[in-house]
Chains A and B, each alone.
Chain A
Amino acid sequence: MDKHLSEDLTVCGREPQIKTLKSLLRRDIACCSNVFIFGSPGSGKTYTLDKFFNHYKIRRLLINCIELYNSRLIYEFIISTLTDTEKVSVKNENEFIHKLQTSLSDKEEAIYFVFDKADRLRSLEPRVLLNFIKLRELAECNISCVFVTQKLWQEFQTDLGLPRPILIRFPIYTKFELLAIMTEDVPDKCSPALYKTYCSLLFNIFHKACNNLMELRHQAVLNFPKFYQPILDGEATENQVGKLWKNVQGHLKEALRTLYLREISSSKWQRLQEHCLAEGKEVKIQSSKQSSSRVNAELPLFSKYLLIAAFIASHNSAKTDGRLFQKKSAKISKKRQLVGEKKKNERNSTWLLGPKTFTLNRLLDIFTFIVEENLESINLNTSIFNQITSLVSMGLLCQTNASDCIDNPRYKCLVNLSFLEGISKSIDFEVKKYLLDFIEIN
């Protein structure tokens, strides 16, 4: 017997799962039913399986259901990998079964088809999933399938009535396990004990929002230099954890705002961090501003006004337009009336339900009003229409009726408030003055 095989595989925190897998997935006779592995993202499903199959030298074929997005691709991939040829054409299930039977020459040893992101199989024809589940019966080979997914088995059930596989759950890592794994990333210069303390502090801040191992590791590595800086500068020693902690606490809270977002790349974040460290400032990111300033530079002035007009049209009801866009003198006395209207409609507010559609005419009316109030009188010409079209193609507006409807097209504004505030600030325009829900009683 192979010496190596008798040694047990250990993967931190996943011992019970490995034990079950080891008994179920044997090398000689493939498992009678299929195995369904599920768990939250970052619970080590793929990693553990990978280790498992490699360690026990069990034959398997890894099928990524995102890469292989239709049934034909899956069939061709399986056959070409099994026969070790590059181009295989498999037109249908019939051909697949026959080719599978001929290509599995070594019928003695079990082979496992591992479907990663198996939930994608549901979007294919319903018979595909059924066929893979019953593959062993259909092909009469020593085969079994392993499905790996984040979804529950119930979500896979169809009206075809699928036989239930053996479910194996991968729960999220506990704090203890997470820390043990994260400590493996310890940088050369730092002692493992200190790094573990650092990870534990980081975990305490992040765990309420995030239990994904990958993200936590990423955040730990990213923010470590800031934590370690006082030691490099000679201001503190490794034993003064309290001092180190105080130094990094605010910084980590700031990093929490960018959790999962990756709004700026890691290298950019690192540069920003180094820059701030050099000047002795705190790192601050204003996430919404960043993205709006990017678009800002690329929009012409009238496009900005158009976008603002569209936003107002989407979020105010057309009924109130008449009163809102009167000349200044009459406006103040009408405010009270408007606020009453606002209260009535709180439940149906566009802020909760999403922007409403508006007609082109209404957009142009509001547009001329706000431009004339802030700049000078203008003539509407075709360039304005061109700008509307380009706003639509940029995805800031969308046309809700058919695009060939020239008569009176309807639009909807797709940007959110913080984005719009960025834009209106750049042209010194106070947008809240025109939004019904922000008008205060004086």
Chain B
Amino acid sequence: MSRRSRDANLAEKAKSLLLGRLAGQIDHSPHFLCPEGFKHEKNESKVKSAVPACKRIYDSIQKVFSNESSSLILTGIRGIGKSYLIDKVLKRLKDERRQFRLVRLNGCIQSDEVVAKVEIDRQLNEYTNSHPLIIILDEFENFATDKQHLLYNLFDSSTSFNMYGSAVFTIGITTRMNVIELLEKRVRSRFSHEQVHLERDIDNKGFLNKWNDAVKKSFTYGFVREYLQDLYYQQVDIREIVTFSDCCLRLMGYREFFDEDLLREVCSIYTLNSQNCLLQDLTTLELSILIAADRIYSLFVGEPFTFEMVFNEYKKFFSKHSSLEMFAKSVVLKSYEKLFDLEILTIADGSTVNNVPKEYHPMKLTVPHEDIERVVADLIDCPTEVKQWVNSLPTQ
């Protein structure tokens, strides 16, 4: 085997290893998010509220070991590391050799109470002892629907003690801040009213320090910075950073390090403005219809329009410019329907389309005028008349 191909094989192996590691981390946010053993180290904590939150949960859980049932709700936006935080606390409890039973439910999977109860039974059957019980309810808001028998039973200390033969500590995890308002009165009064909220507050410099030199260099590229900045301002999902790294690794090919080309490619995938993509793929006819619809929509601000109005506008323009080819009404209607199919046009809010011929369905436009203007200006094979039509002001 030549040296080159052996190197390639090694690189491939290394890549698999890294990908595997990333894959393992997606379900529990990456290690740099939360401190080990809750110690606040300068460069490690990215979620500032994580340390006190960990402590509060840990302290709260202690009650269950002194045979006192209690409950807690953990809130925070998606991807901030709520489940991960819980895992940390549980791991610490295990390290301390505390004895407990654990049941995990997910509101999206155990979607009704009967299923949830069956699942609790199944998970409890794995234990033969009657140690204190910790129940974790992910997507908690889905349990707070209908009769809320399950929550009532869990929160009510005497009932839960009878049911499970030990003290029960219930942790609800949810993205909804107002979840307590969803609880019924009788359930709410039994809830321990302990709510822990995770807030995100990333320290950018510390984040960068974690990366090795090659990766560090990639952050000097303007477009990567721009992408990360956008991400930081707009989204707060740590998952995206993980998938971004995953995508970088996968697209690496046989490169040794992250380089500019690679990052440019990945960034272009991640920052793809898909809104314009749809418009770019339209035919001249479809664009003409869109422009006609846009003119009517902006003329009668926000009022719904019908196909007949759009066709009328289209006809008016095309009969003025004989050099352009005008299409039959039935063909125009088909193209109009394609726009509807692509959800560029949608049925106007609050109107029904039962018993209305399709030519008269009240529609509204979902793309802003500026987008249409930009896309038409960029098109190469669009007739000049149509290009001017976009910019001319609509009149009655």
A residues sitting closer than 8 Å to B (CB atoms) are 20, 23-24, 26, 28-33, 38-41, 43, 91-94, 96-97, 127, 130-131, 136-138, 140, 142, 150-155, 160-161, 163-164, 166-169, 171-172, 207-211, 256-257, 259-261, 287-288, 347, 351-355, 398, 400, 412, 414-416
Contact = CB atoms under 8 A, between A and B. Distances in A.
Interface string B129-147: 0000000000100100000
B269 A136 contact: no
Interface of B: 16, 19-20, 22-23, 26-27, 77-79, 106-112, 115, 118-119, 139, 142, 175, 235, 237, 239-240, 242-243, 246-247, 250-253, 269-270, 272, 274-275, 277-278, 280-285, 306, 308-309, 312, 325, 327-328, 330-331, 334-335, 338, 341-343, 355-357, 359-360, 381, 396
B78 A131 contact: no
A30 to B, nearest CB: 7
Contact of A261 (B77, B106, B331): B331
Contacts, number: 186
25 contacts: A32-B243, A33-B239, A33-B247, A39-B281, A91-B115, A93-B110, A127-B142, A153-B274, A160-B175, A161-B78, A163-B78, A163-B240, A163-B243, A164-B240, A166-B270, A208-B283, A208-B284, A209-B283, A211-B281, A211-B283, A259-B334, A352-B308, A354-B306, A354-B356, A354-B357
A41 B281 CA distance: 10
B283 A130 contact: no
Nearest to B247: A166
A161 B109 CA distance: 17
Contact of B111 (A20, A92, A152, A163): A92
A32 B282 CA distance: 33
Contacts of B79: 163
Nearest to A288: B330
Contacts of B308: 351-354
A164 B246 CA distance: 13
Nearest to B331: A259
Given A94-B119, A163-B240, A30 B23 contact: yes
Contacts of A209: 283-285, 327, 331, 335
A-B complex: 4 closest residue pairs judged by Cβ atoms? A354-B360, A33-B243, A32-B246, A137-B27
Nearest to A92: B115
B283 A207 contact: yes
A416 B359 contact: yes
B28 to A, nearest CB: 9
B327 A31 contact: no
B355 A412 contact: yes
A77 B19 CA distance: 30
Contacts of B325: 208
A24 B247 contact: yes
A260 B283 CA distance: 14
A73 B299 CA distance: 46
Contacts of A40: 278, 281-282, 342
Contact of B251 (A23, A163, A210, A257): A23
Nearest to A287: B330
B94 to A, nearest CB: 19
Contact of B26 (A137, A210, A353): A137
Contacts of B247: 24, 32-33, 166
A187 B253 CA distance: 42
Nearest to B332: A209
A78 to B, nearest CB: 15
A354 B361 CA distance: 8
A38 B273 CA distance: 12
Given A93-B109, A151-B343, A210 B283 contact: yes
Given A209-B285, A209-B331, A154 B355 contact: no
B84 to A, nearest CB: 11
Contacts of A136: 23, 26-27
B275 A152 contact: yes
Given A163-B79, A167-B272, 18 more contacts: A20-B269, A24-B247, A32-B23, A39-B277, A43-B281, A92-B111, A93-B111, A140-B27, A150-B342, A164-B235, A209-B327, A210-B285, A261-B330, A288-B330, A353-B308, A353-B309, A400-B355, A416-B359
